[in-house]
Amino acid sequence: MKPLSYCIIILISVIFTGCGQAKFKKREITNEVMQEIYNEIKTPYKYGLIMVPTDNSYKIDCPSIFRKDDKWYMTYLIFEGRGYETWLAESDDLLNWKHLGKVMSFSKDTSEWDVNQKAGYIALQDPTWEGSYKWESYDDKYWMSYFGGNTTGYEAGILSMGIAYTDKLPTTPHEFKRLLEPVLGPNDDKAKWWDNSTMYKNSVIRDVDKETGHDFVMYYNARGDSINPAKGAERIAMAVSNDMKHWKRFGDGPVINHHKGISGDAYIQRINNTWVMFYFGAFWTGWDQGAFNRFAVSNDLIHWKDWEGEDLIQSSEPYDDLFAHKSFVVKHEGIVYHYYCAVNKAGQRGIALATSKDIGKSDIHFVTPPKDEIEIK
């Protein structure tokens, strides 16, 4: 048989065999697969800080990065004492970033449920590892999930989940529109024991294969407890939607739960035909443990196997000697870029970067801290 004819027959066989079935067989998540993923995503070289406040009146937090044409963009949070607002920056090289402006600001109407807190994260991004990192649209809109609240202070008061959107390109700063009410909250009538106190960061992806039976999946971290909600641990749970506007909790419990401290800020990528959740842990063994970045792996978006090896990112430098946490990870041109929130013992907070290859060191540093700076836990 000639090689060309053989290839055509094989191709036709693959196409017809796959009709009506999953395109790829699900991988069993073995320890070998976990090690394979770790070897792919590890970033042992700390480049340093890539975005810091220009003075000590505010803090920078929680990067989310996407690509449009030949430019990279980052949404991130600024806390200046009142609460979180969401901002936008751009870069040509993933290292040098230019601030552009706000995309979600404090409300002028003090009656709004999210008047003082709008911590936003891009939704429906292409999750392909070393892929396009495109911020994909749905219903001709670009979407953000966020947590909001009306109490002033650092992640203060009762926080709930909101949804924002725009019909303009998200590469220029402009105010996103927001649904009028939260889509999930610790006080709603469907609240569960794991989220009946408050809610924090959330991440939304498409469920293309309908593993959950729905179009969209939200991973969110929340605090709760069946006896004493305010004293409960922080865990990662799931919610689902078919239209990005109406959400319901999914499953009988959290998908990541270490029973103590914090497990939070999930970010999902599709690596080697497996789902990988980057997230951070904190205080699992006590307050002196600090905060650090971890990962878990799944073949169905629902059941997650925790990595039991060493942290992906942990405190090791003067600029992150209190906390090194909150992942956003991309792979571009063979290099893994692991962005994270770096907090030093003076309480200064900015965005740092670790990489899979040694690309040198950043010349960006925090400004001199005030003597009376208070650590933010």
Residue 343, in any domain of the structure: yes
Dihedral (Cα; 5, 9, 11, 13), 10-degree rounding = 180
**Tokens 């792996």, residue?**
297
Rounded distance between C-alpha atoms, residue 253 and residue 184, angstroms: 15
Q: What pLDDT digit, counting tens, does each position of 166-203 carry? A: 999 999 999 999 999 999 999 999 999 999 999 999 99
Residue 25, in any domain of the structure: no
Q: Residue 283, Cβ neighbours under 10 Å: how many?
A: 17
The predicted pLDDT at position 136 comes to 98
337 pLDDT exceeds 70?
yes
**Tokens 């891009």, residue?**
122
| Phi, psi angle pair for 9, to nearest 5° | -65, -45
Dihedral (Cα; 41, 22, 308, 128), 10-degree rounding = 20
pLDDT band at 4 (very low <50, low <70, confident <90, very high): very low
CATH number at residue 191: 2.115.10.20
Total tally of structural domains belonging to the chain: 1
Residue 100, in any domain of the structure: yes
Residue 371, in any domain of the structure: no
Rg (CA), the chain: 21
pTM recorded for the entire structure: 0.92
- Mean pLDDT, the chain, whole residue set: 92
One-letter amino acid at 341 equals: C
Domain residues for the domain of 151 are 36-355
Residue 178, in any domain of the structure: yes
Cα of 30 vs its chain's centroid, Å: 25
What are the DSSP E strand ranges found in the chain? 45-51, 59-68, 71-79, 84-91, 97-104, 117-122, 142-149, 160-166, 177-178, 198-206, 216-223, 234-241, 248-250, 262-271, 274-282, 291-298, 305-306, 323-332, 335-343, 349-355
227 pLDDT exceeds 80?
yes
Residue 312, in any domain of the structure: yes
